[in-house]
Structure 1
Amino acid sequence: MVQQLSLSNEEEVALAQISGYRFKNKRLLETAIQSRGSNFLWQGNERLSVVGQTTLTMCIELIGCATGRDKGEQPTITDIGMDTSRQELASRERLIQLGRTLGLAKFIRLGNSCPGTVAPRQMLSAVQALIAAIYLDSSMDLQQTMHALNHMGLISGTYDQVLRYGE
């Protein structure tokens, strides 16, 4: 089965429901779901996935600072402390599982050489690239990005917590 580069309106709506974000630049979303070696983009979503992992880490760190946790304290997942919790929130396994739970596999564009099953590495890249696409499409608006991350279940903090941090 050969997949098309362009997303249908139904796919775009479904991805907006999954991510909690409606894209202005559809090309960013289309790039986010392109696996490396796909029929359309040789590098696929690789570069976006690096930006996405960095964006997720930044959001987790900001919320960690805003919750007032010190590195020595035992963090919990809900208040996104530092160290262990932070690593767990951004772990490969968690992002892969989240992508599967959200149903991203049916949207990821694979190359002809792939058997049709999304490999863990492809799922990881797609989740990370989706985060980057949201961040870039929103003009690097952390509030919108964090809202989408919260919607997808990646974080439980809010941008309001970060804004109150400096008070």
Structure 2
Amino acid sequence: MIQVSANETIEVRVNINGKVYAERVEPRKLLSDFLREDCGLTGTHIGCEHGVCGACTVLVNGSAVRSCLMFAVQAEGMEITTVEGLAKDDRPDPLQEAFNECHALQCGFCTPGILMSSVEFLGTYADPTTDEIKEMLSGHLCRCTGYKGIIEAIEKEAIRRKDGENVNESGDTV
């Protein structure tokens, strides 16, 4: 184990949304703070800071993680995707488009975390039931009670993927 005094910093190198970031941070700095403060990626929202609300969810090596429960130094060498990394070529991700089409956005505070969990979820459940979607969403708090539109958006994107509407020649979802 690395021994570090309270005033020392450690270099962290991570690949975030396809770009390598190398920054020196205090060992106790949370990944959520690192993303926002050091990397300028403010789409990751900080809500409860206890892992309850889900607003800070990002993908770490493809898995949905509450970034307020992980230290930045723990992400060393990992690949992170934030909500900013979903859009490609200045076009929203199809899941983001589905959220827009189904009016799944109200105040928008919870949306980045829900989107990131939904990306992982749809990668696992190609044809999810409404109950499976609700179970996934149970880890997210939406104060605006906008769950109906969110569920509809996830169902819509699942159907599009199943019908091959958002898949490129390589078989990857676009």
TM-score by length of 1: 0.31
Which has the larger strand fraction? 2
TM-score by length of 2: 0.30
RCO (CA 8 Å, sep 6+): is it higher in 1 or 2?
1
Which has the larger helix fraction? 1
